[in-house]
Structure 1
Amino acid sequence: METRPIEIDPRRFWPQAGYGDLFPDVRRIGVLRGGGLGDLIFALPAIAALSAAYPGASLTLLGSDVHRSLVAACDTEIEDVEVLADGWDGSAAPSGPGGPRSGGRANDGLEAAVARLRGRSFDLLVQLHGGGRQSNPFVHRLGAKHTVGCATPEAAKLERSLPYQVSQPEVLRWLEVASLAGAQPVVLEPVLKAKARPSARLRGNVPRPVGRREVVVVHPGASDPRRRWPAGSFAQVVAAVARVGYDVTIVGGEEDAATAEEIRDHARVLLQGSASAPRGAGLVTATAGRYALADVVSLLSHATAFLGNDSGPRHLAQALGCPTVAIFWGPNAINAAPFSRARHGIHLGWRTTCPVCGAASALGTGRCPHDVSYVDDVSPEAVYADLSRFLLQ
């Protein structure tokens, strides 16, 4: 019997109130998406949908420094990146880390950004940043012909707006925003492809040509300390991976260097004290703070698997096609966990009160000042069992 592809009417896929017709004569699209590495990766399916809906239109990302580095390292639908302010992480309006202020360097930076971006004459500006309290007024100032995005009740509305609710998968949130502009989904999970070959300093850690050891990449960092699995738990899994012959490279930023070295040293002690450690045990190295983002992209493109917390590098590994096993704080899994499970395992910590003071924590609410792990009850044995399905025993 002949099989036919399933055709889905996007008007049925999305709620009718959230779906819009294509805008006419769109040649220049701007996408506002601040924040870190993972924040942009969550928006990639929406960007792909916009690119497919408006073929031939140029697409400019209004983002941050790390976004420009990612676009330089990977093939994407993004043609260029406007960095709104040095170090802007999206936590405030795009005038700098402190938000808009009267007078001073921050306000000057905002006015210069507005003038520069108005000169782009965007036909469509898509706010993929958040609830819009600070970002929507900024969007309005750029003078685009058409605007779409999310809006909390107190935020300024755009031409087409969706209500912003905290507990929603980020990928689907931004796909739903793209649907306001008539853009149909073309992928449901982020996809990236590395542009560059490994650099000279990285080449020794990439498992090519055939015959070199395979590499498992570990990233122990996370922007929120509550999402960080303990170094000792990582070390147990790292030692088990090295014991079966895989090299392990622990990556991260400079802020992760001390933790990476702690994991490396602990894993080496575990290996030395194990009677079952074969002569061919893999090497464990700590490289946090040493690699540029393009190098991490190359490394993940060739890695056997990735192990880490809910973090930008985990989302990057997934987009590059690397199998991942990650530790998530339960509430964050609603927004940030991958949809598929064949190549991506998640392990959830369900602690919802601070172990120091007992204060309750929930997604999108305030928090106490204690920077302690909420995922320390995740079992290293369970994590290794999951990771081992990607390893050749």
Structure 2
Amino acid sequence: MKQPLPARPGHICVLRLSALGDVCNLVPTVRALARRWPEARITWIVGKAEYSLLSGLDGVELVVYDKATGFKGMRALWQSLGDTRFDLLLHMQQSLRASILSLGLKTRVRIGYDSERSKDWQTWFTNRRIAPHPHAHVLESFMDFAVALGLDAEQELSRLRWDLAIPAAAEAEAEGLLAGRRALVISPCANPRLRNFRNWSAEGYAAVIEHAWRRHGLTCFLTGGTSTAEREMVARIQTLCAHLGEGAPVDLLGRTSLKGLLALIARARVLIAPDSGPVHMANALGTPVVGLYATTNPERAAPYLWRDYVVNRYPDAVRTFMHKSPDQISWGARVRHPDAMALITSEEVCAQLDRLIFDTAATSSRSSENPREA
């Protein structure tokens, strides 16, 4: 039996544990719910790393679940919530782990994805569904939960708001790293996952870095973790850019906190990266983004406010490596081939970078061009 929706929910639970890019895309929905019901409590259950990104988010109570703690951690979370009863649960994580976690949350109304978008048997753990929305962007899919509660999609998508908190210590961290330089931030590697071929080439990045320095006077800051793949990528980029002297890229792998990275991106003139958390972090901060997409569909997962500046080789990759046309595959299908990103050329990335800098020059406080001659 379908449970009736509360007319004025007093306490809303949002369940979305990961990942960094996805939680960035979810923040506008949480903001929309808070606008609609300003007196309602909103509790958001998030992952450990995601909490580090979202901490300080006003108007929201963040509850952390560390997936490394397994079922023991779930029990601890359930106990910490005690007798808390929610008016409704927005089950926004399509994973069996999250669905099991949801079983210990006290609520009658459990809203999940429609059957087309549901994964890992999520429909078994919910009693209401959002309406179908073929070909939706991830951000729009999250907003569909607000629409299910009576909010107007067009209106809410026209006034997206993030306002991620950046503490003073993170601001100082970023200022110290930049040292007054105008920044191009490049996060060259996506998270390492099985058959997740999202990374572009060191040679391509090196060509773009040289162009950004000579044409726009931008110093490149390379960010990311400390995995072997990332270290090897950055070492190769630095070798290729050694001739740039003071224009050589700065290696920041493992040298920033997550909030420090957020502050760094907020100060950057532009960010370039493949489909990964940083493109959505930049999008949330209003920093211009050139996204590099060939293995994932940018119409579904591009930085939302900067979709027009994506380098999109996804249709070509589908035809080349899947031997199909884009309309013959599912909306979220990935091209799992190690050569897919090689379809992207440095020339088209440089062209998008030039176009983006030109188009945002009038509105950016960091838009002084001062081009350098070769």
Instruction: Say which structure is richer in helix.
Output: 2
Tell me, yes or no, if the aligned pair for 2:197 and 2:341 is still in contact at 8 Å: yes
Partner residue in 1 for 2:197: 226
Which of 335, 340, 346 is the aligned partner of 1:380? 346
Whether 2:131 is the aligned partner of 1:148: answer no
**2:360 counterpart residue number:** none
Counterpart-to-counterpart distance in 2, 1:125 and 1:69: 23
In structure 2, what is the equivalent of residue 216 of structure 1? Answer: 184
Aligned to 1:265: 239
Answer whether contact 1:23 1:182 (CA < 8 A) is retained: no
Matches within 5 A, 1:173-188: 173-185=141-153, 186-187=156-157
Q: Matches of residues 310-349 of structure 1 in structure 2 within 5 Å?
A: 310-329=275-294, 331-341=296-306, 345-349=309-313
Taking structure 1 as reference, are residues 286 and 362 closer, same or farther at Cα in structure 2, changes over 3 Å only? farther
**43, 46, 56: which one pairs with 2:39?**
56
Whether 1:65 and 2:39 are equivalent positions in the alignment is: no
Q: How does 1:14-93 map to 2 (within 5 A)?
A: 23-72=6-55, 75-77=57-59, 79-87=60-68
Any residues of structure 2 matched to 1:113-152 within 5 Å, and which? Answer: 113-117=77-81, 119-130=83-94, 135-136=98-99, 138-152=101-115
Cα distance change of structure 1 residues 38 and 234 upon mapping to structure 2, 3 Å threshold: same
Counterpart amino acid of 2:260? D
What letter is aligned with 2:235? E
Q: Cα distance, 1:81 vs. partner?
A: 1.8
Contact 2:283/2:305, CA 8 A, preserved across alignment: no
1:169 and 2:141 aligned: no
Tell me, in whole angstroms, the C-alpha distance in 1 between the residues paired with 2:333 and 2:254. Answer: 32
Instruction: Provide the rounded CA distance (Å) in 1 between the counterparts of 2:147 and 2:17.
Output: 20
| Contact 1:205-1:215 within 8 A present in 2 as well | no
1:174-194 per-position Cα deviation (integer Å, ceiling 9, x unaligned): 111222222345345563344
The residue number in structure 2 matching 1:10 is none
Q: 1:133 to 1:156 in 2, by over 3 A?
A: farther
> What is the SS of the residue equivalent to 2:309?
strand
What percentage of residue pairs aligned between the two structures are identical? Answer: 23
1:28–1:58 CA contact under 8 A, matched in 2: yes
- Report the TM-score when normalising by structure 1: 0.75
Q: Where does residue 296 of structure 1 map in the other structure?
A: 261
Check conservation: 1:148, 1:181, Cα contact below 8 A. Answer: no
Distance 1:362 1:378, change over 3 A: farther
CA distance in 1, matches of 2:297, 2:109: 32
8 Å contact from structure 2 (residues 223, 252) kept in 1? yes
Taking structure 2 as the reference length, the TM-score comes to 0.78
Paired residues of 2:282 and 2:288 also in contact (CA < 8 A): yes
CA distance in 2, matches of 1:336, 1:242: 29
Q: Structure 1: 5+ residue runs without aligned partners?
A: 1-19, 88-95, 97-105, 273-280
RMSD: 3.1
Deviation at 1:63, TM superposition (A): 1.1
Unpaired stretches in structure 2, ≥5 consecutive residues: 358-366
Residues 1:158 and 2:126 are matched in the alignment: yes
Aligned-partner residue type, residue 38 of structure 1: G
Q: Give the total of aligned pairs.
A: 336
What is the SS of the residue equivalent to 1:260? helix
Following superposition, the deviation at residue 135 of structure 1 comes to 3.8
Give 2:361's aligned residue: none
Return closer, same or farther for 1:365/1:34 CA change in 2, 3 Å cut-off.
same
Which structure 2 residues correspond to residues 87-106 of structure 1 after superposition, within 5 A?
A: 87=68, 106=70
